[in-house]
Amino acid sequence: MKLPVALAGSTFLARPIAVAKGAIAALEAMRQRDRLALCAALLSLIIGLDFLLVLPMRDKRFAIENAQQASVNDEAAARSSQQAEQDAHAAELKARQVKVTQGLAAFGAAGKQADSLRFLLSRTLQGLPVTVQALRAMSVEETEVTAAAAAGIPADASASAPMAEPAALALEGTASDAPAAAAQTLLYRHRYELRLSGALPALLSALEALEGNARPLRIERVRLQADADGALEASVVLMTLGSERTWLSL
Q: What is the pLDDT of residues 142-200, one digit of tens each?
A: 877 655 455 444 444 444 444 444 433 343 444 444 444 455 677 888 999 999 998 99
97 and 198 belong to one structural domain? no
Closest among 249, 228, 224, 247 to 130, alpha carbons compared:
224
pLDDT at 193: 93
Pair 213, 124: CB distance under 8 Å: yes
Handedness of CA 169, 172, 176, 177 (dihedral sign): negative
- Does a structural domain hold residue 7? no
Q: Which domain, by its residues, includes 103?
A: 16-109
- Does a structural domain hold residue 75? yes
- Does a structural domain hold residue 171? no
Looking up residue 237, the CATH number of its domain turns out to be 3.30.70.60
> Phi, psi at residue 46, to the nearest 5°?
-65, -45
141: β partners: 189
202 and 135 belong to one structural domain? yes
126 and 46 belong to one structural domain? no
Closest among 104, 242, 220 to 162, alpha carbons compared:
220
pLDDT at 63: 87
pLDDT at 204: 92
65 and 128 belong to one structural domain? no
pLDDT at 158: 43
Assess whether pLDDT exceeds 80 at residue 9: no
Identify the band that residue 223 occupies on the pLDDT scale cut at 50, 70 and 90.
very high
- Does a structural domain hold residue 149? no
* Range scoring the smallest mean pLDDT among 100-114, 127-141, 213-227: 100-114
- Does a structural domain hold residue 59? yes
Length of the chain: 250
> Phi, psi at residue 48, to the nearest 5°?
-65, -40
127 and 244 belong to one structural domain? yes
- Does a structural domain hold residue 166? no
> Phi, psi at residue 222, to the nearest 5°?
-135, 140
137 and 210 belong to one structural domain? yes
- Does a structural domain hold residue 9? no
Count of Cβ atoms closer than 10 Å to residue 218 Cβ: 22
Q: Last residue of some domain: 50, 83, 109?
A: 109
- Does a structural domain hold residue 175? no
- Angle among Cα 40, 45, 46 to the nearest 5 degrees reads 100
86 and 189 belong to one structural domain? no
138 and 96 belong to one structural domain? no
pLDDT at 206: 93
How distant, in Å, are the alpha carbons of 120, 144, 191, 216, 222 from that of 200? Answer: 23, 39, 24, 25, 13
pLDDT at 18: 76
Count of domains in the chain? 2
92 and 63 belong to one structural domain? yes
26 and 135 belong to one structural domain? no
Biggest distance spanned by C-alpha atoms of the chain: 137
136 and 236 belong to one structural domain? yes
122 and 244 belong to one structural domain? yes
23-49: burial string, b at 16+ Cβ within 10 Å, e else: eeeeeeeeeeeeeeeeeeeeeeeeeee
Mean pLDDT calculated for residue range 8-26: 71
Closest among 190, 250, 199, 193 to 223, alpha carbons compared:
193
